[in-house]
Amino acid sequence: MSLDFLFMALAFARAGDPASWSHGLFMSVVWSILTGFAVAWVCRDYRAGLVLGSVVFSHWILDWISHPIPFSTFSWRTWRWDYGHHLPPDLPLFFAGSPKVALGLYDHISAVAATILEVSMFIVGTAVYLRYRAKADVPGLTEDRSGY
């Protein structure tokens, strides 16, 4: 979701091609590394940095599986609840003008199924995080994981 928030901020700021800066493979790696280092530095926990950096990159992997999405041509007048029609890949490898990739899951399922899938992944991710936090908050169950 962090890459989506970055995309929205860049789109709102009208900063060139926001998809290449937020959802391109190269920049997804850059954002993941920056996130990992920032979290490790702020939390003084290298494992937390590694995990959150990996979570940021997992967004690109999930988008690679599911994209393209029809939002680049979104219009309330023409919105269809059945994706099921082929769209070209929309995830750039580098910046604007570079080759684009995507496996196209959303070309083969309905918008309802896609929404259920996205919400389910968010719920599972939240549950995993909350379970981890609950264990981390119990004294004696976790060791000092800081690398410093």
> Measuring CA to CA, which residue among 133, 141, 137, 139 is closest to residue 48?
133
Q: With beta carbons less than 8 A apart as the criterion, state whether 92 and 20 touch.
A: yes
Residue 37 pLDDT grade (very low, low, confident, very high; cuts 50, 70, 90): very high
Tell me how far CA of residue 60 lies from CA of 66, 117, 128, 130, 143, in angstroms: 10, 16, 19, 23, 31
- Count, residues in the chain: 148
Given pLDDT bands bounded at 50, 70 and 90, which one contains residue 67?
confident
Q: Quick one: pLDDT band at residue 45, thresholds 50, 70, 90? A: confident
Distance CA 43, CA 135 (A): 17
pLDDT band (50, 70, 90) for residue 19 = confident
Q: Which helix (H) or strand (E) holds 101?
A: strand 100-101
User: In terms of DSSP H, where are the helices of the chain?
Assistant: 2-12, 18-22, 25-43, 46-66, 111-136
Distance CA 18, CA 9 (A): 9
For residue 100, report the phi and psi dihedrals to the nearest 5 degrees: -115, 145
